[in-house]
Amino acid sequence: MQAASEDGANGARTVPFYADRQAGVGTAAQAHGVFIALDLKTGTTPERLKSLLKLLSDDAANLTQGKPALADTEGELAVRPARLTVTFGFGPGLFRVLGPERVQAGPLDLPAFSIDKLVPELSGGDLLLQICADDPLTVAHAQRMLLKDSRSFTTVRWVQSGFRRAYGTEQSGTTMRNLFGQVDGTSNPAPGSAEFERVVYGDDSMPAWTPNGTSLVIRRISMNLDKWDELDKSGREEAVGRRLANGAPLTGKSEHDEPDFAAVTPVGFPVIADFSHLRRARPEDSIQRIFRRAFNYDSVPGPGGVSDSGLIFASYQADVQRQFVPIQRRLDELDLLNLWTTPVGSAVFAIPPGCAPGGFVGDGLFA
């Protein structure tokens, strides 16, 4: 059991910033996260972009180690990093600034899906900052410092904040739950495993866009909790294909039991229905796997509304088109959860490698 320490030991914990790969992907998910999409200002040159990335990298390197940013007027707020990570993502607009020879390395847009009701103010972006920590004050301070760095170079396109269980609430490694109450992410490959390496960073048969890089799809999924409340437990489990109590498939007893899609009820119907989320998300092709690192959100509802809640679905994979898109197409075609969920935001970013001291995230693109 990983328990919160009374002497604030978790607040002092750090995650290295300088490495071959960026932190915040295989890092055990923190309790709080914010995703910020920025648009580069018109007329941005490669040199201006380089200056921005160097400034952001230098301040992120300090903040993640519990040190104030360069122009930090509230440096006292930086001394408890609480496993702070800052992960950079590059959108299509950033690659266009670098020149035509770099555009093909960038992320490709997703195809249109029938279930989408996307709004521009929650979609797209040239530069992503993913800021995560176990303390919300740490996240807020890092967000402010990095946005101060960015304001001469960019405009804010959107900000999405999310959360998981508070640090110490559950045993380390417990699969998160979303606001429907369902266990979310059971099929994730374990960070550090050979399968995680293949899924997230690719291999010879399916390379990522660059060595030690990966790709991120962010989907903001609105969840109609009020309508979900009208469904009884058995209906919820049939829609998901798993038991709500522990996440076990309806044909098993434990969360990580393999589902038996051939099993039928006494009257001949599949125990795990073809329209269940588990069945639609489960690929027949082993290439079609992703690594989920999602966060819940609970925003202030609009006039007359009761809730505005859902999931910031963050999916990492080596190749978006070969891994993420086929899964999403199956969900688009026949997933009973579509009755209660609606994607309202979507963006794709290339995640560049990490950097060494003296360098900056993305420096390889300027070579």
Active site residues: 184
Q: What is the DSSP letter of 13?
A: -
Taking CA atoms, 291 is separated from 65, 80, 296, in Å, by 26, 28, 16
- For residues 95 and 98, give the distance between their C-alpha atoms in angstroms, rounded to a whole number: 5
Question: What residue has token string 């099993």?
Answer: 263
Q: What angle do CA 359, 315, 137 make, to 5 degrees?
A: 65
- For residues 13 and 75, give the distance between their C-alpha atoms in angstroms, rounded to a whole number: 17
The sign of the dihedral angle between the CA atoms of 88, 330, 164, 225 is positive
Q: What angle do CA 218, 191, 107 make, to 5 degrees?
A: 30
Question: Which of left, alpha, beta for 55 (phi over 0: left; psi -120 to 50: alpha)?
Answer: alpha
Closest CA to 106 of 126, 120, 91: 91
